[in-house]
Amino acid sequence: MAIDCTTYSAGPGPAPTFIVLPGGDYLEHDEHEGAAVAEWLTGHGIHAMVVRYGVGEGCFPRPLHDAREALTKLREGETDLDVLRDHVGVIGFSSGGHLAGLLATDSDNMTGTSRWTFAGRPDAAILCYPVTELRDAFFGRIPNLDAGVAERLLGGDASEEQRSELSPCTRVTSPKEGDPTPPMFLWTTSDDEVVTVLHTTTMLLSLGVAGVPHEGHIFSSGEHGLGLAEDNPEVAQWKELALEWLAGLGWPVS
């Protein structure tokens, strides 16, 4: 099945490209985390592809298959964009941040997926107030108040083992391994009442333990789902910080 996506060009000539994955609790797509984000990227010399991945109760593995197809299309030149094929990243928000984290830690033996759809991993990932833990508790003892995402993605009968396997924080691999997790940038707010800050701090801990290059920002205050955060000057800094991070990785951004 063809993916539902829209491409946004930064102009003629080859450019880095980001797959954009809006949030929406795996039930819908939040529009302000799609086209607006793509237009911000193109304004800085980065092509974008907004993917409206499959959603609905028990939708897995369709969302990941859609993200894999987007990565394949960009790397194989199957879109109208002139892509620098070794500079393809992913950016996701909330549940889209969970999906971006899965793509960035993907493997061809992930339970429930079709092995032939595996597309490798992106070259960088930006996770914005993401869900990174689907199990019922962080570190086995701190209740995960956001674990309902797992039921919407996997259905109500998913095992703890499957929830663990599909939690990006458990999937991080070291640069010393054959298929390392790419560099990652994460941000959230300390008082997010929908997806708690623990999702970001847990992922940062996993990245640090594995030695994966990363940068993280926890802003003091801001409601969930801010997107570009145009009405919150403190949080809006994440955009410039992310661009500086990409430039530090050697990405040609403006």
Q: For residue 16, tell me if it sits in a domain.
A: yes
Tokens 């592809």, located at residue: 49
Please work out, in degrees rounded to the nearest 5, the angle formed at the alpha carbon of residue 118 by the alpha carbons of 214 and 159: 80
Instruction: Identify any residues that bridge with 217 across adjacent strands, giving them in sequence order.
Output: 187
Share of the chain above pLDDT 70, in %: 95
Q: Is there a domain that residue 254 lies in?
A: no
Q: What is the pLDDT of residues 97-138, one digit of tens each?
A: 999 999 999 999 998 999 999 999 999 999 999 999 998 766
Given CA atoms 153, 154, 160, 166 in this order, what sign does their dihedral have? Answer: negative
Give the domain range for residue 202: 5-248
pLDDT score of 136: 74
Q: Give the CATH number of the domain where residue 89 resides.
A: 3.40.50.1820
Does the model's pTM come out above 0.85? yes
210, 222 Cβ separation under 8 angstroms = no
Task: Judge whether 253 lies within some domain.
Answer: no
What is the average pLDDT across 24-53? Answer: 97
* Distance, CA of 197 to chain centre: 16
Number of domains in the chain: 1
Evaluate whether residue 33 is within a structural domain.
Answer: yes
